[in-house]
């Protein structure tokens, strides 16, 4: 009886590998027409996405994906890490649980609801501020000119909100593993709280926090619906961060319905999905590497070469 | 081995410390110590109680620690010796819900007075932990200089002090050629001496050691024990240890704790050979613990 | 009180904490606290607007009619654009089927990993690819199911159950990871003492390990369900969207996220208002799932 159960469960686990292999192969087969027609390099780097003229260069989409995700990281990661630091090191104990739950609740709001809110609240309310910024700092690269309603920056801002809970949650876990003794060692030297954070907490958790940020990046790259609603869906690569744009995920959500009748259009959207998948795969791979390394370091204790022997002391 | 004379004793008027414990013959009074060029401080605990939430872990301890002596605190696990140690530099209150009452007097100055700055207390009372705790990303030099940097001491003065501290910790010859390599690259015993160097670099009034050798091998342990003997020339040292042989080797006086009470304190030799309390005798002869 | 205080007298070598350091500490703490507050601003604003706009939409026939009505012309009072009944039903059915697929499948994989696979090469490979799945964008699952199930014409074209499959793929890694964590918390002595009584491994798992871990498993599964309930992208080209009330999962089906998505893109006040109402309902549904999950966790005997 035990062996059959074991076999069945092994089979179920193997099914996961089969699904993923099948997933990649099917996606590749379906996307192949566009690769063979244009070549993978042209598909990725050509700056022209014009389905009406049968031009499928995905660069404006890839660039848009990278721009919005970069904005999300620049805004979201410092806030998320600060929230994690505040909860683990600074805030009064009774507040801890409440704050943790509130930050986690940010993740409970569905992407489409964030999109709805951004379209009818964020975009109109923030536009004057964006215009002011654009006029005042027009000397900066990628800033200046007329601000579009939906744009890269709004998408990035919304993505920042959406990655804060995950980045913050993982940062919290990483910060919680900093050994109490290291923090106390800093305090025992007469460090203030902030000096303790600088001296003992942040250096210890640097790798883990990088991993958390990368996981957040993975989320931001693949986020679809909210971005579709606020990016403007213009396949022309915008010249400033306040221009309309497009992302890989948004183009799939937006054009797939109408592409069903055009095999090349459909294939290029699936190819866009494949590129997106590979992009998130690489980012997640790096993130896992960092987080796992951080965890291992914590488990192994601080010193690298620690001859633990209590011989004389026993 | 001597501290730079320029940096010692910016001496503010310290009040005359009354010797309140005549039953404990100090082998050197504070003034005698000063006369000998020794400047360790006298520490006294008065009715010190420590709590974890509602649980009273230490029940009103009165204890004197003589200047320039090593005082060992021994006792079975959970007897409160580490808690007492952590009350001295107010590290105890880092634990959520933990607090203490009573007085901790450093040459008569109350560490718990309401206007006392917590960071000043901890700066003035150095602490060495069970496990070596070098700061992970800092070099050997920067590890020792960490406390100096916090106080705004830089440049030549800082490097002089680092050298002095590393020499004081008996580590200088082993690391002088690689001061810029990471502190965590050292062996466990070297790391612990690095932490001791870091502690003495800021010239504390008092050094607390919480089982400083429990993570070390026998040879490293021996080095640290020798170091403690040298350090007491300049500092008053309080050491918590699980290990009675260690207390016998390093301590001038030994205090035995049990279940949150101070059972007995006296010269180390008499605690180990001729204790007055039967519980002490049972413990030091290995009947429990 | 003329005696010197510790602050003034206590230090021989070094100056006491300088005002500059104290100020720096205060500024840094304030800054970190302020950023934490900023993190919560969107939450407060979203909840505020959801309540303000959404409650207004919850009138008479909001929950009892389908979004098949037509827009009212000025002056007309008896017409209605309709409510979200079909969307609620669709979401409930699609998510329920997705849970029925993903939860047993995911739990079985977790049981394999913890009880049989352990640290074997194969088990670690499975773990790694489960992690990979966690990172796959949800729209990619939609594409995949479209290619495999919709374009190939299996069981017709778009259908509710195909949406369920896409959501199940999304839930699967979440269920596996959370269940694995919980199963690992079951103390080994429990397993060993049951095995020592001569019980076969599968029986120990079934009657000792799983019951002990039950509430933890429920928590993980409910969180996965909550996550799936709010997803739009996997449903776009799988369940599609029809406005009519449909009971069977074999046909195209409406759902709350899709209803909101389509309504947002229709620039008419009444329809946008319906989107707010639907969004409020959806968020409440997800919050309740989260709350129940947390309560189950609190009752857990582990951790």
Closest residue, chain B, to C24 (C-alpha): B150
Is residue A76 a part of any domain in this protein?
Answer: yes
CB-nearest to A2 from C200, C264, C283 is C200
Tell me the mean pLDDT in the region C28-55: 95
Q: Does the pLDDT of residue B22 top 70, yes or no? A: no
B31 touches chain A (CB under 8 A): no
- The pLDDT of residue B146 is 92
Tell me the DSSP string of B181-241: SBGGGSBHHHHHHHHHHHHHHT--SEEEEESTTTTS-HHHHHHHHHHHHHHTTTSEEEEE-
Q: Quick one: DSSP state of residue B84?
A: H
Is residue A19 a part of any domain in this protein?
Answer: no
Q: What confidence category does residue C72 fall into, taking pLDDT thresholds of 50, 70 and 90?
A: low
Q: Does the pLDDT of residue A290 top 90, yes or no? A: no
Tell me the mean pLDDT in the region C116-130: 92
- CA-based R_g, chain B, Å: 19
Is residue C41 a part of any domain in this protein?
Answer: no
Is residue C61 a part of any domain in this protein?
Answer: no
Do A188 and B91 make contact, defined as CB atoms within 8 angstroms?
yes
Q: Which residues of B touch A183 (CB under 8 A)?
A: 94
Do B187 and A309 make contact, defined as CB atoms within 8 angstroms?
no
Cβ pairs B/C, distance under 8 A: 73
ipTM comes to 0.90
Q: Please name the chains neighbouring C, where neighbouring means 3+ C-beta pairs under 8 angstroms.
A: A, B
Is residue A236 a part of any domain in this protein?
Answer: yes
Q: Which residues of B touch C15 (CB under 8 A)?
A: 151-152
Is residue C62 a part of any domain in this protein?
Answer: no
- For tokens 């309140």, the residue is B20
Is residue A153 a part of any domain in this protein?
Answer: yes
Do A187 and B185 make contact, defined as CB atoms within 8 angstroms?
no
Closest residue, chain B, to C16 (C-alpha): B120
Percent of chain A with pLDDT over 70: 93
* Domain region containing C268: 85-299
- CA-based R_g, chain A, Å: 24
- The pLDDT of residue B242 is 87
What 3-state DSSP class applies to B47?
strand
Is residue A27 a part of any domain in this protein?
Answer: no
Tokens of A114: 């964030």
- The pLDDT of residue A298 is 54
For each of the domains in chain B, give its residue range(s) and CATH number, in order of start: 28-284 (3.40.50.300)
Q: Quick one: DSSP state of residue B116?
A: -
- The pLDDT of residue C167 is 96
Percent of chain A with pLDDT over 90: 65
Do B116 and C15 make contact, defined as CB atoms within 8 angstroms?
no
- CATH number reported for the structural domain that contains residue C189 in this entry: 1.10.3720.10
pLDDT tens string B212-267: 998 888 888 998 899 999 999 989 999 999 888 899 999 999 999 999 999 999 99
- CATH number reported for the structural domain that contains residue A207 in this entry: 1.10.3720.10
C7 touches chain B (CB under 8 A): yes
Mean pLDDT of chain A: 88
* Domain region containing A207: 56-246+278-299
Do C11 and B10 make contact, defined as CB atoms within 8 angstroms?
yes
Is residue C23 a part of any domain in this protein?
Answer: no
Q: Which residues of C touch B116 (CB under 8 A)?
A: 5-7
Mean pLDDT of chain C: 88
- The pLDDT of residue C74 is 66
User: Strands, E, within A129-268: which ranges?
Assistant: none
Residues in Cβ contact with A268 at an 8 Å cutoff, skipping those fewer than 6 apart: A31, A34, A43, A51, A56, A58
Nearest Cα neighbor of C182 from C126, C223, C136 is C223
- CA-based R_g, chain C, Å: 27
Q: Does the pLDDT of residue B29 top 50, yes or no? A: no
**Residue A34 Cα, gap to closest chain B Cα (Å):** 49
Tell me the DSSP string of A123-141: HHHHHHHHHHHHHHTTTST
Is residue C20 a part of any domain in this protein?
Answer: no
Is residue C27 a part of any domain in this protein?
Answer: no
Q: What confidence category does residue B8 fall into, taking pLDDT thresholds of 50, 70 and 90?
A: very low
Q: How many domains does chain C have?
A: 1
pLDDT tens string C153-212: 888 888 999 999 999 999 999 999 999 999 999 998 989 988 998 888 899 999 999 999
């Amino acid at each position: 009886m035990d062996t059959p159960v074991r076999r069945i469960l092994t089979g179920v686990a193997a099914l996961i590998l089969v699904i993923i292999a099948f997933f990649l192969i099917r996606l590749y087969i379906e996307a192949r027409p566009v690769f063979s027609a244009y070549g993978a390099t042209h598909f990725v780097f050509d700056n022209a996405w014009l389905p009406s003229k049968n031009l499928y260069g995905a660069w404006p989409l890839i660039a848009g994906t990278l721009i919005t995700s970069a904005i999300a990281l620049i805004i979201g990661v410092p806030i998320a890490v600060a929230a994690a630091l505040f909860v683990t090191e600074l805030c009064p104990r009774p507040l801890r649980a409440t704050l943790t739950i509130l930050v986690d609740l940010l993740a409970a709001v569905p992407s489409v609801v964030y999109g709805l809110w951004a379209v009818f609240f964020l975009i109109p309310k923030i536009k004057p501020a964006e215009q002011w910024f654009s006029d005042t700092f027009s000397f900066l690269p990628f800033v200046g000119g007329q601000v579009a309603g939906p744009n890269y920056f709004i998408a990035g801002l919304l993505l920042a909100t959406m990655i804060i809970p995950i980045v913050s949650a993982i940062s919290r876990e990483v910060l919680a593993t900093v050994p109490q003794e290291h923090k106390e060692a800093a305090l025992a030297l007469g460090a203030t709280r902030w000096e303790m954070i600088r001296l003992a907490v942040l250096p210890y958790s640097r790798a883990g926090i990088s991993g958390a940020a990368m996981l957040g990046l993975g989320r931001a790259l693949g986020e679809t619906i909210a971005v579709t609603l606020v990016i403007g869906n213009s396949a022309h690569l915008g010249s400033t961060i306040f221009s309309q744009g497009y992302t890989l995920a948004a183009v799939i959500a937006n054009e797939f319905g109408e592409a069903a009748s055009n095999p090349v259009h459909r294939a290029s959207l699936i190819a866009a999905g494949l590129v997106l998948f590979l992009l998130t795969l690489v980012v997640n791979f790096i993130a896992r590497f960092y987080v796992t390394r951080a965890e291992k370091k914590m488990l192994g204790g601080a010193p690298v070469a620690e001859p633990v022997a209590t011989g004389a002391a026993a | 081995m001597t501290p730079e004379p320029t940096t010692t004793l910016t001496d503010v008027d310290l009040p005359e410390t009354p010797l309140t414990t005549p039953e404990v013959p100090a082998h050197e009074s504070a003034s005698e110590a000063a006369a000998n060029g020794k400047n360790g401080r006298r520490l006294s605990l008065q009715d010190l109680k420590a709590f974890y939430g509602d649980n009273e872990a230490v029940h009103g301890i009165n204890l004197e620690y003589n200047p320039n002596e090593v005082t060992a605190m021994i006792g079975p696990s959970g007897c409160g010796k580490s808690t007492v140690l952590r009350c001295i530099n107010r590290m105890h209150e880092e634990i959520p819900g933990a607090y203490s009452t009573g007085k901790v007097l450093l040459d008569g100055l109350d560490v718990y007075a309401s206007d006392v700055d917590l960071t000043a207390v901890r700066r003035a009372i150095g602490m060495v932990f069970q496990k070596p705790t070098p700061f992970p990303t800092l070099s050997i030099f920067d590890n020792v200089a960490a406390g100096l940097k916090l106080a705004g001491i830089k440049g030549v003065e800082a490097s002089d002090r680092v050298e002095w501290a590393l020499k004081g910790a008996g580590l200088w010859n082993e690391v002088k050629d690689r001061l810029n390599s990471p502190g965590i690259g050292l062996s466990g015993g070297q790391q612990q001496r690095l932490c001791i160097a870091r502690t003495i670099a800021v010239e504390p009034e008092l050094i607390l050691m919480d089982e400083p050798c429990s993570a070390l091998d026998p040879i490293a342990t021996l080095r640290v024990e020798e170091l403690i003997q040298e350090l007491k020339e300049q500092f008053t040292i309080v050491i918590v240890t699980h290990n009675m042989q260690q207390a016998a080797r390093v301590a001038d006086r030994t205090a035995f704790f049990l279940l949150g009470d101070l059972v007995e304190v006296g010269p180390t030799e008499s605690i180990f050979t001729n204790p007055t309390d039967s519980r002490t005798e049972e413990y030091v002869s290995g009947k429990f613990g | 009180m003329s005696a010197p205080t510790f602050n003034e007298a206590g230090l021989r070598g070094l100056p006491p904490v300088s005002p500059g350091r104290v100020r720096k500490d205060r500024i840094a703490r304030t800054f970190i606290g302020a950023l934490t507050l900023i993190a919560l601003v969107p939450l407060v604003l979203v909840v505020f607007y959801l309540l303000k706009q959404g409650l207004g939409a919850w009138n008479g026939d909001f929950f009892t009619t389908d979004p098949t009505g037509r827009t009212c012309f000025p002056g007309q009072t008896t017409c209605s654009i309709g409510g979200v009944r079909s969307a609620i039903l669709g979401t409930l059915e699609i998510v329920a089927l997705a849970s029925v697929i993903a939860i047993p499948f995911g739990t079985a994989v977790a049981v394999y990993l913890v009880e049989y696979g352990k640290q074997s090469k194969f088990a670690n490979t499975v773990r790694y690819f489960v992690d990979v799945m966690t990172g796959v964008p949800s729209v990619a699952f939609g594409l995949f199911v479209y290619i495999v199930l919709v374009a190939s014409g299996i069981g017709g074209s778009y259908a509710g159950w195909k949406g369920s499959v896409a959501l199940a793929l999304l839930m699967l890694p979440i269920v596996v990871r959370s269940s694995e964590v919980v199963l690992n918390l079951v103390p080994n002595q429990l397993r060993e003492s049951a095995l020592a009584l001569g019980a076969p491994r599968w029986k120990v798992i079934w009657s000792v390990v799983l019951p002990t871990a039950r509430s933890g498993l429920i928590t993980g599964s409910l969180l996965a369900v909550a996550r799936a309930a709010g997803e739009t992208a996997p449903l776009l080209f799988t369940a599609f969207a029809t406005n009519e009330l449909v009971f069977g999962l074999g046909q195209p089906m409406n759902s709350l996220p899709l209803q909101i998505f389509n309504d947002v893109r229709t620039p008419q006040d009444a329809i946008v208002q319906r989107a707010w109402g639907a969004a409020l309902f959806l968020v409440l549904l997800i919050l309740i799932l989260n709350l129940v999950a947390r309560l189950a966790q609190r009752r857990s005997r582990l951790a």
